[in-house]
Structure 1
């Protein structure tokens, strides 16, 4: 339980870091091209790591329908929607809506796998999500009209991303319980998604073209957050899903909006407001209730 909770929290930190690094290159390249580059580079890297560690024999290939569901929904649809939300609304608003994945995953785990959460886990998860909401909505200074447009876009694209990513992670839990290594499953997800999105890129459609010239610097700035998010963080969260209840793993894996606050403070000098600090404290309290009670 404790290792699973630590893995999910570490995944949140990785996604928060990757989200900050990804914002600028995602806006320049567009959602499709940005996602395609990240999937190709991350898929190759994770496949190589899986081979070097000797994890390919652990894969239960009889679960291939679950792999396909995870690739199509969790990676392709989920990440295209997330990147589009990131481009339109920014990293903090995106993470706020994506955090809705936690209660959705808990509900799906109950209906799909029969998992139930204890009362303290439900209370702790609710406190965490309340803290996330307070932290992310603190200090918004947009006009009502601009904020309204951003809210609609965030709810639409972020909602699609939250549901799709939740389905993608949850679909793989039976395979992990059967012995498949999380790193190997991450490689399968990424390689499968890279193949599909590369085939889609051959379609003569302007939406698949980059919005900017791909320079070496822009390429590196695109690959690095992909390795952090798709490679490291996804493997950590899959490990958490395998070793603890899906609802708890999803809540602790949704702390990116909280963890992005100190990162933004250090990187951009944006000091969090008192409301944001209070929201962060609430989230810490909720995590303590879930893990230690």
Structure 2
């Protein structure tokens, strides 16, 4: 399977997982949900790498980079994403997260002296315009839809979503050189996940109030969290790392940023409410803009 299909498959899994995250994220709270999810995924990935012998491919020289990628891309990025999801719902959080392709291009400009043409600037403008269009106009006619309601300050939600996108871009750039070696993607993903989980555990042990669960864990919430972690992180993120072994960061970022468009029909089926035309237009503008940036 080519890296294009791997990235698209990851985008689809992220779309499904974002919808599955709504109930447990609201039940447990942002930090507790992220901690439980990362704990489940760490066990799954670690076991997979042990079964396949992937741990033998890990070289000490690449461990530090993968750990840093895990702290930035997963511990900070994923936690910010779920905080955004709790405030803005899966569609709008997914749109903001799709900006990681833009940030990948911008970081490439500053870190690797890559130039940005006028066409690429138009692409970046399209992405942000599409995101803003979908967020501020995409909720028209959706007043009764709880998945579209914004809780708290809208700009706080936007900031969290953009932080998640920036961290995802940074995590991918940090991981890329290591992924071009012979390291097993499952083992690499396990290192990132275990590091993020350890960071969450340290935060919880420190007694920070935000790290406590809003409501106690139960069997139903645990099952949803475990399935979500398996789909999005154990499978989805590992597919992205496989894709990074074959393709460039920008193209992988583009293909994986199609999640907002994939999420629209899923939300339509789930809620029975058709997203309005601004939601579709904004999502397509965002993906078209990322296409201009990285193709």
The more displaced of 15-24 and 246-255 is 246-255
Counterpart of 2:206?
203
- Paired residue for 2:33? 34
Preserved CA contact (<8 Å) 1:135 1:258: no
Cα RMSD (Å): 3.0
Q: 1: distance between equivalents of 2:119 and 2:109? A: 16
Contact 1:135–1:280 under 8 Å retained in 2: yes
Q: Equivalent residue for 1:21? A: 20
Q: Secondary structure at the match of 2:21?
A: helix
Q: What is the CA-CA distance between 1:243 and the residue it aligns to? A: 1.6
Deviation at residue 251 of structure 1 after TM alignment: 1.7
Q: CA deviation at 1:103?
A: 1.0
For residues 256 and 269 of structure 1, the distance between their equivalents in structure 2, rounded to whole angstroms, comes to 19
In the alignment, structure 1 residue 109 sits paired with structure 2 residue 112:
no
Alpha-carbon distance change, 206 to 130 in structure 1, aligned in 2, over 3 angstroms: closer
Q: Of 234, 239, 243, which aligns to 1:236?
A: 239
* Unaligned runs of at least 5 residues, structure 1: none
Cα displacement string for residues 103-147 of structure 1 (whole angstroms, at most 9, x for unaligned residues): 11122234435667999988888767766665555531489xx86
Note if contact 1:63-1:175 (Cα within 8 Å) is conserved in structure 2.
yes
| 2:156 maps to which of 153, 157, 171 | 153
CA distance in 2, matches of 1:152, 1:77: 19
Q: Please give the alpha-carbon distance, in whole angstroms, between the structure 2 residues aligned to 1:23 and 1:58.
A: 36
Partner secondary structure for residue 2 of structure 2 = helix
Q: How does 1:225-264 map to 2 (within 5 A)?
A: 225-264=228-267
TM-score w.r.t. structure 1 length?
0.85
CA distance in structure 1 between the aligned counterparts of 2:225 and 2:102, rounded to whole angstroms: 30
Q: CA deviation at 1:211?
A: 0.6
Separation in 1, partners of 2:112, 2:258: 24
With 220-229 and 268-277 compared, the bigger mean Cα shift is at 268-277
Unmatched 5+ stretches in structure 2: 144-148
Structure 1 residue 69 displacement after superposition: 1.5
The residue correspondences of 1:152-231 to structure 2 (distance < 5 A) are 152-231=155-234
1:236 Cα deviation (Å)? 1.3
Alpha carbons 1:8, 1:240 under 8 Å: kept: yes
Contact 1:46–1:187 under 8 Å retained in 2: yes
Bigger Cα displacement from structure 2, 158-167 vs 198-207: 198-207
Q: Matched residues in 2 for 1:197 and 1:284: separation? A: 32
Paired position in structure 2 for 1:53: 52
**1:168, 1:277 → 2: CA distance?**
29
How far off its partner does 1:277 sit?
A: 4.1
The structural deviation recorded for 1:255 is 1.4
**1:92-103 matched pairs, under 5 angstroms:** 92-103=91-102
Q: 1:160 to 1:64 in 2, by over 3 A?
A: same
